[in-house]
Chains A and B, each alone.
Chain A
Amino acid sequence: MGVKVLNSGLSTTIQDLGRPGYFHLGIPMSGAMDQKAMRIANLLVGNPENAAGLEIVFTGPTLRFDEACLIAITGAEMPFKLDGVSQSSWQSIQVEKGQTLEFDYLRAGARCYLSISGGINVPLVLGSRSTYLVGSFGGMHGRPIAAGDILPLGRCDFMASQVGKNLPTKMLPNIGVREIRVLLGLYSYRLTEGSISKFFSEKWVVASEADRMGYRFKGGQALEFVERKAPFGAGSDPSNIVDSSYAYGSIQVPSGTEPIILHRDAVSAGGYFTLGAVISADMDLIAQLQPNTSIQFVSIDMHQALLARAERVAEMKEIRGYISNS
C-alpha cells in the first residue's frame, strides 16, 4: 500500500499549507511555497486544501503507486508520464495500482505540487505534516523523501465523478509574472531616498542561494544608508539593527548588497534591517522563480496590497466554486 519512492528528485518534500502559530518560538510556518498551486492540486483530487502532498523542486521524483488513487500535479511546468503515457497538469488523473509516475525536465517555473487522494498520511507535528528541513522535523522524518521510502496515504476512496476535473486556462495562475510588489518598511528609513528609488528601478537576478528559507537576488547596485551612530545592541555594519522579528516576505539586505526575500522556512528574527516586505499575494510567484531569472520590485502602498490580497482570495473562491460544480 502507499506510494513507493523509486527516485527522490533533487529535494522533494512533504508539505501541506504549513504550521502557523509558532513563529514566536522560532518555528517557521513551512508549508507549500506556492500555496495556491498546493490548494488547487488538493481540490482537484477531492482533498481538503490542507492535505499533505509533495513539493517538487527543479527535478521530479519517480514514484510507484501501490494502491489505486487520484492524483493532480500543479505549479511549475514539468511534463510527466504515467507508465510511459504523457499526462496533463492541472487536472485529476486516475492512477491504477502498480503504475509508475516519472517526470521530464522542468520547462517553466520551479516547483510542482503533487496531491494524492487521501493525502500523504505522515504524523502531524505541531498541527502540520509539512517538512521543516532545518529543524529536521515534519514530513518524512524531517528530511526530503528518499528512494525506498513508502509514503503512507490517507483513506483513498474517491468518486468516479472526480476523475478528469480540471480548470479553464484563464483560472490558472500566471507563473511568468516578473514584477514583485513590495510594501516599504519597517526599516526603509535607514536608506537614502535615492537608494530606495534605485532599488525599484533595477533588474534583480535570482542567485543560486535560493531555497525554502529565502530567495537571494543579485545584480543591482549596493544600497546607500543614512549615516548614523549604531544604537546600543546593533552591530556596526550599517545594515544592522537591534534584533527584531521578521515577517513572512520580509526583504533583508545584509551589508546592503544582495536582497533576500524570507520565505516559508525562514528565521523569525535577526539583526539585519528589512527594507520592505513582498506582499502576501505575490509570495507564490517567488516560489516559481528559477535561478538566473530577472525580476523587478514594484513599490505599492497598503491600500493596493490589501486590494491584491482581496483579489487573490476572490480568485481562490472562484476556483473552489468551479471545481465543486464541475
Chain B
Amino acid sequence: MNKKQIMSPLPGTFYRKPSPDSENFKNDGESVEIDDVVGLAEVMKSFHEIKSTVTGRELKFLVEDGDAIMPGQVIAEVE
C-alpha cells in the first residue's frame, strides 16, 4: 500500500487534543477523511486546527503531543 502524508502548514507547537483533559482528535490505527481535524498548531498566541488533506486508513502519528513542528513537516501517515 502507498502511504499518504498529512503535513502541517504552520510552525509552532503540535497538540493532539483540543484541551489537556480531552480525548485525542484521532488515534493511531483510525481512518481519516479530508478535512478531519487531526491536531492543533499553537502559534502567535492562538491555536489553529490542522486538517487532513487526504483520505485513508491505518493512521500513524509521527510527532508527539507538545512537539515543535515546522511548516511542511509530516505529522501523520495513512495507507
Are A and B interaction partners? yes
Residues on A lying within 8 angstroms of B by beta carbon are: 10-11, 57-59, 105-107, 110, 208-211, 290-292
* Complex CA–CA separation, A210 to B45 (angstroms): 7
* Complex CA–CA separation, A208 to B72 (angstroms): 17
B13 and A59 within 8 A (CB): no
Within 8 A of A (CB), among B1-57: 7, 9-13, 42-45, 48
Which of B9, B11, B68 is the most central at the interface, judged by chain A CB atoms within 10 Å of its CB? B11
Closest 3 pairs (CB-CB, A-B):
A105-B72, A292-B68, A106-B71
For B72, give its contact among A11, A106, A291 (CB under 8 Å): A106
A11 and B11 within 8 A (CB): no
Given A10-B10, A208-B13, CB of A57 within 8 Å of CB of B44? yes
* Complex CA–CA separation, A157 to B45 (angstroms): 41
* Complex CA–CA separation, A106 to B44 (angstroms): 16
A292 and B45 within 8 A (CB): no
Chain B residues with Cβ below 8 Å from A208 are 12-13, 42-45
Chain A residues with Cβ below 8 Å from B68 are 291-292
Residue of B nearest to A76 (CB): B71
B63 at interface, CB cutoff 8 A: no
* Complex CA–CA separation, A107 to B7 (angstroms): 13
Residue of A nearest to B10 (CB): A58
Residue of A nearest to B70 (CB): A290
A59 and B44 within 8 A (CB): no
Residue of B nearest to A213 (CB): B45
B12 and A291 within 8 A (CB): yes
